[in-house]
Structure 1
Amino acid sequence: MNTVEKWGLFEVSLKGPSAGNPFTEQSVSATFRSKNEIVTVGGFYDGDGVYKVRFMPSFTGDYVYETVGSFPEAESAGDFTVTEPTGNNHGPVRIANTYHFAYEDTTPYYSVGTTCYAWAHQPEEVHKQTLEELDKGYFNKMRFCVFPKHYIHNFRDPETFPYEGTPVDNSNLTEENF
């Protein structure tokens, strides 16, 4: 039997169609049941014909699940056991005492973030370097723009855009004509 920690991540992966536009033409969801909760969660297309549903259990004990969707392979069922959380698994962050944050287990949460505005526009090498630095634990959040934004020292476009359509050709932008 599969196990996952309370407040951990349980994931169901299903094979399905990849033809057409699976992001909009297909759907998948799962209902998770335990003696303490029943939760239905929407899934998503993860690429290469793989669909996923992710769930964070709130209680320890035995769970069962059923998946359904718009394609035959989406129908499945299974079970898993949820164990006590360990290590730094304190649960989701919630509002505490009106003006503060705390994890579900009441451990205080201190938000310390940084900004990487043009990060999405940078080459893979810079992404890797940034993630390695963030992994050192100085910050627990990062914000950045998902829309293309040009700065005096950044005229790169991201690899993908958060919208459909053809982006404007900015190949002639320089620091002199910006």
Structure 2
Amino acid sequence: MRNIEIEANVMEITPEFEIEMNNFKLQTRQLDKSLHNQYGLIKKFQDDFRNNELNVLRELDKSTTKIFNFMNIFETYIQYNTIMAKNNEIKQKNASLECELFQKQYELEKKKEKKVKAEKEENQLKAQLDTLKQSIRQQAAYNKVLGHKYNNELNKKNQIHKPI
């Protein structure tokens, strides 16, 4: 209240000061309006900036998700290629082992054939040996019979030439 009284007293003393004061008040009101408008603009810019920040963060999050998805897909692709390379390596080893197995089976088959052939030859030789043994026995029996006949003939001859 005291300020208002001082202002009224000063206005009465100097009228040009009153005009200046009114001009000053008008300028102050205009500045207030201007500041208020600028504050509103600043507030709007701040809100827009926050919204833009949020949009950027959302887009960044989406991009990050896409990057992680791509990385997962790429990692899966690399794992697939690694598995396929190992699979091909295993197939090559299997093919090599199959060749070795076939070679061993072939060698075993040849050995079996040789063994069967050797057994056949052995059986044939045994059969020939048995035939030869039988033939020798027959010859021995025949020789024995011939020996007895010879001895009998010799004994007969000796008895004939012997004086009685």
Structure with larger Rg: 2
Name the structure, 1 or 2, with higher relative contact order (CA <8 Å, separation 6+).
Answer: 1
TM-score clears 0.5 = no
Q: TM-score, normalised by structure 1?
A: 0.15
The structure richer in strand per residue is 1
Q: TM-score, normalised by structure 2?
A: 0.16
The structure richer in helix per residue is 2
